[in-house]
Amino acid sequence: MSAPEHRYVITFGCPDRTGIVARIASFLADAGGWIVEAAYHTDPDSGWFFTRQEVRADSLPFDVHELRERFGRVAEALSASADWRVEDTAERRRVVLLVSREGHCLYDLLGRVAAGELDVDVRAVIGNHPTLGDITRAHGIPFHHVPFPAGDPAGRAAAFTRLAGLVDEHDPHAVVLARFMQVLPPSLCEAWSGRALNIHHSFLPSFIGARPYHQAHARGVKLVGATCHYVTADLDAGPIIEQDVIRVDHGDAVPDMVRKGRDIEKVTLARGLRWHLENRVLVHGNRTVVL
C-alpha cells in the first residue's frame, strides 16, 4: 500500500451548545484546512459534545505545534475537557506489549505489523514467562523476561517496578496487555490511564476475573465473547472499546470454547488497538465514544 497521507488529528469534547461545529470548522477553514474525515457525536444524556477531525497537513500554512497552540484557544473558549488533543500522523505510534505464556494475541499483532496492516512501532515485548521470546526476536523486536514470583508481594512489587521502567523508557502511546494475566497495581493503572488496553476473554460484564471460559461453560451460554477495554483500578470494569462474540454449542467443551474464543480475542484486540492509536476513542465517564 502507498504511504499514508500526512494528517493532523483533532479530538475534542466539551459541553454541548449551539455553534460549536461552526466555530471549529471556521477556525480550520480560515486557515485553509482541508478536512478529510470528520465525525461528531452529541450525548443527549450528559449534554456533552465530541468530535474528531482529520486535516491534511499540507493544507495548513503552519506546523502541528502552531496548530496545537492556535486550536488551544478554540478549545479554551469552548470549555473543552482537558484531554483534547492535536496529533500528527507523521509521529509513528509506539507500542509496548505485555504477555504471559499464551501467544495467540502476540502472534496476531506481530503478524499484522509484519504484513504492513498495522503501522506501529512495537518497541518491546515484556513477558512474565520466557515462552514468547523467540517469536518476538524473530520479528526483530526486543523481548524482556520479568518474572513475577507467586506468593511474594515484595518480589511482585519489584517486578512491576522493573516492568514499569522497561515500558516508560519508550513513552508508548499504548501499553497492551495481550493476555498478560497479571493484575496491574493501582499506581500503574493511574500512570498509564487512557493508554493501557486489556483484552478480556469474555463478553463483559459477564464472567469477570479468572477462567471466564470455564464460567461460560458452566452457565451454558450459546455465545462466547471478548472485550477490549482500558485498564482501570477496578478489575475488568474499565471503559469498553470493542467487543465481539462467536457462537458455541453444547458440543463445545471448555477447550473448544477457548479455541473459538481466541479468534474473537485477536480481532477484538486488534480493532481496539487500531482505533486507540488512530485517536478514535474518546473516554467519557466509564463509556467510550469511538469516532
Residues marked active site are found at: 236
34 binds a second copy (CB under 8 A): yes
Closest C-alpha to 97, from 134, 141, 138, 156 = 141
Give the integer Cα–Cα distance in Å for 165 and 260: 35
In the complex, minimum distance from the CB of residue 92 to a second copy, in angstroms, rounded to a whole number: 18
Tell me which residues in 177-216 interact with a second copy (CB under 8 A): 203-207
| Of residues 19 and 153, the one with the C-beta less far from a second copy | 19
117 binds a second copy (CB under 8 A): yes
Compute the Cα dihedral for 207, 273, 117, 172 and give only its sign: negative
Judged by CB under 8 A, which stretch of 70-78, 153-161, 186-194, 222-230 contacts a second copy? 222-230
Helix, strand, coil percent values for the chain (each to nearest 5): 35, 25, 40
Give the integer Cα–Cα distance in Å for 280 and 54: 11
Judged by CB under 8 A, which stretch of 6-14, 103-111, 150-158, 188-196 contacts a second copy? 103-111
Judged by CB under 8 A, which stretch of 30-38, 86-94, 122-130, 189-197 contacts a second copy? 30-38
Query: What phi and psi values does residue 216 have, to the nearest 5 degrees?
Result: -65, -40
| Of residues 9 and 270, the one with the C-beta less far from a second copy | 270
Residue from the set 21, 77, 90, 157 that interacts with a second copy by CB under 8 A:
21
